[in-house]
Amino acid sequence: MVVFTRHDRLEVVLLKLTAAQFPLPRSLHALVLDLYAPDIQAGAAQTMSQDEVLRYLKSIDSFELSPLQAIRTQAEAMGDPAVLGGEQAAILEWLNTAYNHWEQRFPIEEPLASELRKLLPLGAALAITDPDFLTPGAHSFHRLLDALQASVVGWQSRLGRAGQSMAQQLEATISTARTWFDGNSDALPTACEELIITAQKNKSRAQRMAKRVVEAEQGRLKTAQAKTHAAQMINQLLEKYQAPPDVGEFLKGPWYESGQLIVLRFGAQSKEWAGMSATSEALLDSLQSEPRAAPDQTDKGSGSRRQQLFEAITKLPREIRRCLISLQHHEHEIDNAIGVIESAHMAVLRQQDLNLHSIEPIQLSSTTTAEEDPLVLECIAALAVGQWFLLSRKNSEPLRLQLVLKMASEQQLLFTNHAGMKAAQESYAYFAASLKAGTSTPLPSEVSFSGSLALAAKISSEEDLESLNSTAPLQARQAHRAAIAEQRESDRDTHEREREDQARLHREFDEALAAKREQEARAARQREKEQEPVHEQQRQRDAADQKQKEQDLRHQSELEETARLMREYEVAEQQRDRAEELTGLDEGFLGAPQPEAKADPAPDLTPTVAHSVKANNGPLIMGAWLGFHDGEKPLMAKLAAHDKENDNYIFVNREGIKMRQLSKSELRGLMDRGLVEVLEAHSNFKDEDTRARNNHRV
């Protein structure tokens, strides 16, 4: 089979289950225990209570470790002899396997991926306390991670301010969700709901932006096609007929422009376009020199031709005037153009030399249409508009891009980024080759976490699901589990007996050893009495050695403790830095989402924009581009000025035309509702001005 379909199959092969099959119809509890339950150790130490496990999970601060490892590490550090119960350990192992798969198969860019790991202890706590967790897709935690992954699949830190709201929302969601540990049972559904609303809002916003990009591109395509169509018609005629230079100029000028407009307005199949094509040919035909008749001949054919010419010459100016829509409202220029034609016709009628020339065809920009390789077309056909991809290019960071348009006529693909802005345009052939080479890879985003949970329990296809649903395999598994339990019980009895035997032997050995030591001690005391002075010196030396050893040990221990504290400090510092980085993002535009600001019912916006309006942790300066999403259509506008007198923010387009004027409170309101985002936080006018000034001096 064709290799190009590989990228599409990856998803199918890896997870044949679709979103429609989630939540799964049955709990995976039995299956998880079968797959992950470790053999229960006979005579194992006491099992941790659920409260203890939850305490350990809550206090995890090293999120790189799996929850199981983190609990064991903490228990060891505290000298807690209790161990996790077999069922709990199995569930946590299953969860960790699923989470690792999810991270690898559905990668999210840093720092979001690390931030998300903070949810893993919460997932572990829910997994061992809530039976619903064992049914993939049924629990709000599953839906939360599914929604999170889908909403940040295209997120990249390079998006700057445009991507910061998502990062902030994620941080808030994680923070809210983790309050579950403090007894807030509504934490997870609330966090899930909030995130889904925000994600939907962001998605709609990006879709509106992307729609504009697509419409602009489609408009460009249509214009280019109209241009080509009009040029081809004129060029074909110029190849067939010669024409006077000024008529050639007319045909390649206003006539060509009018042709483009007619194709755009009425279409290439319209009667208007057919009429223009016919007029074009009639015009050129009318300019062909009439063969001069011999004086002694009355050529009937020549007379007929002359008759045709008269008719054409009478009719053509009217037709040309009707078609010249590029000069609409420019009567003077239309008259000039018609004058050129009429002048040429007069020359034809007078049988004067028209100075006919072969006119150079209209030059079209070289649009190299790629050969339609069936393999490439098959590959591109398998791609879905809306699908996300990771594009790796030499000497640049990988890009996460969404396919928004397939341009079949140009064999081009158009991609936008997470903010819905145009980010790349690639040819069919290039993109198909990059998929084949693995430099472009699809980024799936459907039921990612729920699917990973199912996969970690070896449910990856419809067949597996059917097997899970049927009772026979379940009974077989239960029988298998019962056999294992019986075997373990039997092992435990045997082990108990062995332990009792060993204990008896130990007791006998200890008694014999004690008797022997007593006997040796008596002999030693006798020898000491005989060698008292020598013994005293030796005892003092031993005591000094012992003291030195104790000092060395204490010193060593202090060094180790210092090293441990330094490591902990470094980790804490790194975490603090990371937290500060994330918190720093909150110092955003108008200081919008800061909790402190919310606490203040009337936040003070200082009078100058430089101080009150901030983006990217710095002031939002004149020239910054903002995206407004409060109207029917999204609007991009540049901040032209903050009018100190009227305290208004004035937004303009590229030409400086005023698009919006908002008071401080209006702008604040839009910001609070997430209806305004900063697309470009800096202006380059000062740079341009300096460059122009330097060039001027040179």
Partner 1 sequence: MLKDTRRHRRLSFVGTIFIELLSSGIEENQPSEVALCKTIDISPTGLLVWVNRELTVGAILQIGVEPSSGDNTLYLTGEVRRCQRDNNTQRWKVGFKLLNASDSDIDTWQELVAQLSRQST
Which residues form the interface with partner 1 (CB under 8 A)? Answer: 421-422, 607-610, 619, 621-623, 625, 636, 638, 640-645, 650, 652, 654-658, 679-680, 683-686, 688-690, 692-693, 696
* Residue 399 Cα to chain centre, angstroms: 9
Least distance to partner 1, CB of residue 651, Å: 9
Q: DSSP secondary-structure letter at 327?
A: G
Q: Which is nearer to partner 1, 433 or 622 (CB)?
A: 622
CA angle 461, 401, 387 (to 5 degrees): 35
Find out whether 591 and 614 touch, Cβ atoms under 8 Å. Answer: yes
Structure tokens at 137: 């897709």
Closest of 427, 439, 442, 430 to residue 384, by C-alpha: 442
Q: Which is nearer to partner 1, 24 or 640 (CB)?
A: 640
Q: Which is nearer to partner 1, 123 or 627 (CB)?
A: 627
Q: Which is nearer to partner 1, 33 or 399 (CB)?
A: 399
Least distance to partner 1, CB of residue 417, Å: 12
Least distance to partner 1, CB of residue 623, Å: 7
Helix, strand or coil for residue 61? coil
Find out whether 38 and 86 touch, Cβ atoms under 8 Å. Answer: yes
Least distance to partner 1, CB of residue 686, Å: 6
The tokens 């209006």 sit on which residue?
666
Helix, strand or coil for residue 585? helix
Least distance to partner 1, CB of residue 680, Å: 5
Q: Which is nearer to partner 1, 56 or 651 (CB)?
A: 651
Give Cβ neighbours of residue 668 (< 8 Å, ≥ 6 apart). 590, 603, 605
Least distance to partner 1, CB of residue 610, Å: 5
CA atoms within 13 A on the CB side of 185: 2
Q: Which is nearer to partner 1, 142 or 660 (CB)?
A: 660
3-state secondary structure 552-585: HHHHHHHHHHHHHHHHHHHHHHHHHHHHHHHHHH
Rounded to whole angstroms, the Cα distance separating 637 from 656 reads 10
Rounded to whole angstroms, the Cα distance separating 308 from 227 reads 32
CA angle 199, 201, 205 (to 5 degrees): 115
Least distance to partner 1, CB of residue 645, Å: 5
Helix, strand or coil for residue 155? coil
Least distance to partner 1, CB of residue 333, Å: 19
Rounded to whole angstroms, the Cα distance separating 657 from 635 reads 13
Q: Which of left, alpha, beta for 401 (phi over 0: left; psi -120 to 50: alpha)?
A: beta
Least distance to partner 1, CB of residue 404, Å: 15
Find out whether 15 and 451 touch, Cβ atoms under 8 Å. Answer: yes
Least distance to partner 1, CB of residue 161, Å: 11
Q: Which is nearer to partner 1, 222 or 693 (CB)?
A: 693
Rounded to whole angstroms, the Cα distance separating 256 from 252 reads 5
Q: Which is nearer to partner 1, 265 or 686 (CB)?
A: 686
Closest of 571, 586, 678, 573 to residue 171, by C-alpha: 586
Find out whether 194 and 205 touch, Cβ atoms under 8 Å. Answer: no
Least distance to partner 1, CB of residue 612, Å: 9
Q: Which is nearer to partner 1, 418 or 638 (CB)?
A: 638
Whether omega before 23 lies within 30 degrees of 0, making that bond cis, reads: yes
Q: Which is nearer to partner 1, 350 or 696 (CB)?
A: 696
Query: Following DSSP, what letter does each residue of 270-282 receive, concatenated?
Result: SHHHHHHHHHHHH
Find out whether 478 and 30 touch, Cβ atoms under 8 Å. Answer: yes
Least distance to partner 1, CB of residue 381, Å: 29
Residue 227, Cβ neighbours under 10 Å: how many? 20
Q: Which is nearer to partner 1, 459 or 639 (CB)?
A: 639
Q: Which is nearer to partner 1, 40 or 659 (CB)?
A: 659
